[in-house]
A and B are shown apart, each in its own frame.
Chain A
Amino acid sequence: MSVLSRRAAAMLVMAVCTVYFLTPLWWLFVGSTKPGGRGVGLWFDHFQLGTNLHAVLTYQDGIFLRWLVNSIGYTVGAAAIGTLLAAMCGYALAKYRFPGRETLFNIVLGGVLVPATALALPLFLLFSKAHAANTYWAVFLPSLVNPFGVYLARIYAASSVPDELLEAARIDGSGEVRSFFTVSVRLMAPALVTIFLFHFVAVWNNFLLPLIMLGNQKLFPVTLGLYTWNSQVDQRPELRGLVLVGACLSLAPMLIAFLSLQRFWRSGLGAGSLK
């Protein structure tokens, strides 16, 4: 095969895959600009995105906006705090020797292999005992824990924070905790953004925990809200259009996060598999 025909074949595969990956998203966008539930082709027809957005945002006293805000509240807070805690723990595992270090690392690594969904039911029972199920905290607090983040932070800290630098900081009289926040966090920053992004996605997508924990619609994250609407379409046909517009709208925060953090996930993603 000549180089030219190889190139053409490679580009053809890429083009076909692009169509496969982007068509559903394009369809969703086009669908959400049409009058509710109307013929769902791949091109615009009776464009009324503004009307549809208004309908979604005002339905049931604006519950959808509340779900979006809830999702952002659960996700940004849990991912930010969770990333910091994982970074501190992974950093300590990489940079200090202390009794029980290997045991701790192995237990945390075991935590990566335990499916989070297996924890949802016992968490619900425990929170019910404490009369805290069906509250914001019942979803937020368990979302803080990210064992895979600890694993990644340990690898990143080992490879990006030189011991000599920490030793120099010690000689300058800096405490260990201060060195972490002034020196090490900066060196680990690209990695921390990657951990944050993964944690963000995991919490944003979480479904079983809120499904089991929450009965009060006002506390729902947007995924659970859309799921509820979608399962009521048979009784309330007007929801069909709203589900599409809502689904489209719910993707916006994630797409913004992905596009703006591009340079980090592009470079940081693979580090977990490099030893």
Chain B
Amino acid sequence: MSGSRSGSRHLGAVGFFITPFVALFALFYLVPIGYAVVQSLYQVKRTGTFGPAHDVFGGLVQYRRVFSDSPFWHSVERVLLFGIVQVPVMLGVALILALLLDSGLVRGKRFFRLAFFLPYAVPGVVAAIMWGYLYSPNLSPFTALTAHVHLLGADLVLWSIANVVTWVYVGYNMLIIYAALLAIPTEIYEAARIDGAGYFRIAWSIKIPMVMPAIVLTTVFSIIGTLQLLAEPQVFRSFSTAVSSTYTPNLTVYATSSVPNFHLAAAFSVVLALATFVLSFSFLKFTQRRGVQ
């Protein structure tokens, strides 16, 4: 950090550095958020049944509709259930793979690291199309499985989607955790090893606590990602009739805006953004209070 005196000297340079980003951030983040809030407070009124439509101030009318919209709240429950199961499974696998890569037991680390990370290069839409084919009984190479288990049926399709998301993101999360593991000074293990600690003991008592910040970071991103689920279920609508147009909160926003009912869709967006913000922020606060830095 340059000393406090340098602050006044370089204001011009600071302005040059921050203005372009700040201007775009304001235009494409802050203004849209503000605009969505304003739009959500209006409603469409018609003069007579077929008269011209006007936007009039409606106060919290749209929010009342949001809170009484049961398909929306079902979709919220669905993604919460999805997140409670999928996020720990995905991060658990990512953590185990990162620990194995770091354990010194594995040969060919570069190959495995690349192989596990490659799915991250596949866009959600493409991954969903690919797995959709793999799940379809008449297209899949795994007919022994797909003939007997309806992976695209109402009971299982949520978990079939969870598998797509897991497949894409395990490697990414593994790399973040692995990079944090590499940053731990090895002397710490040497001491533990001399004291007779084995692989599991070292992983559990030393490595995992030391990479907690990385795990917290990946958890927050996964929570945000889960609440935003859109591309995968949207693609699955062409494979499975069990995925409705309001299957996830984001699909509801999209369906409502194509009706079009922009005021209600804006209210959905605002509620969803707030919920995401509150959830990820309180998770961060919770972990900080527990002393996990």
**Residues in A lying within 8 Å of B, measured CB to CB:** 6-7, 10-11, 13-14, 17-18, 20-22, 24-25, 27-28, 31, 40-42, 85-86, 88-89, 91-99, 104, 108, 110-111, 113-119, 121-126, 141-142, 144-145, 147, 150, 163, 166, 175-177, 180, 201, 204-205, 207-208, 211-212, 223-224, 226-227, 230-231, 233-234, 243-244, 247, 250-251, 254-255, 257-259, 262, 265-267, 269-275
Give 13 A-B pairs besides A113-B224, A147-B25, A269-B176 with Cβ atoms closer than 8 angstroms. Answer: A10-B100, A11-B106, A14-B100, A24-B127, A42-B141, A114-B29, A115-B224, A118-B253, A125-B266, A163-B2, A212-B254, A257-B121, A259-B114
Give the contact stretch, choosing among B16-24, B154-162, B189-197: B16-24
Contact with A along B75-115 (1 / 0, CB 8 A): 00000000000000000010011001001011110001111
B→A interface (CB under 8 Å): 1-4, 6-7, 10-14, 16-18, 20-22, 24-25, 27-29, 31-33, 35-36, 39, 93, 96-97, 100, 103, 105-108, 112-127, 129-134, 139-141, 167, 170-171, 175-180, 182-183, 199, 211, 213-214, 216-218, 220, 224, 227-228, 230-231, 234-235, 237-238, 250, 253-254, 257, 262, 265-266, 269-270, 272-273, 276-277, 280-281, 293
Contacting residues, chain B, for A265 (C-beta < 8 A): 117, 175
Specify which chain B residues have a CB less than 8 angstroms from the CB of A96 in the assembled complex: 2, 6-7, 10, 13-14, 17
Report the Cα distance A211→B10, complex, angstroms: 43
Q: Give the secondary structure class of B's interface.
A: helix
Find B141's partner among A7, A41, A223 (CB 8 Å cutoff).
A41
Collect the chain A residues with CB atoms within 8 Å of residue B270's CB.
Answer: 118
Q: Which residues of B contact A207 (CB under 8 A)?
A: 123-125, 230-231, 234
Q: What's the nearest-Cβ distance from chain A to residue B97, in Å?
A: 6
Q: Do B176 and A270 touch (CB < 8 A)?
A: yes
Q: Is the CB of A273 within 8 A of B180?
A: yes
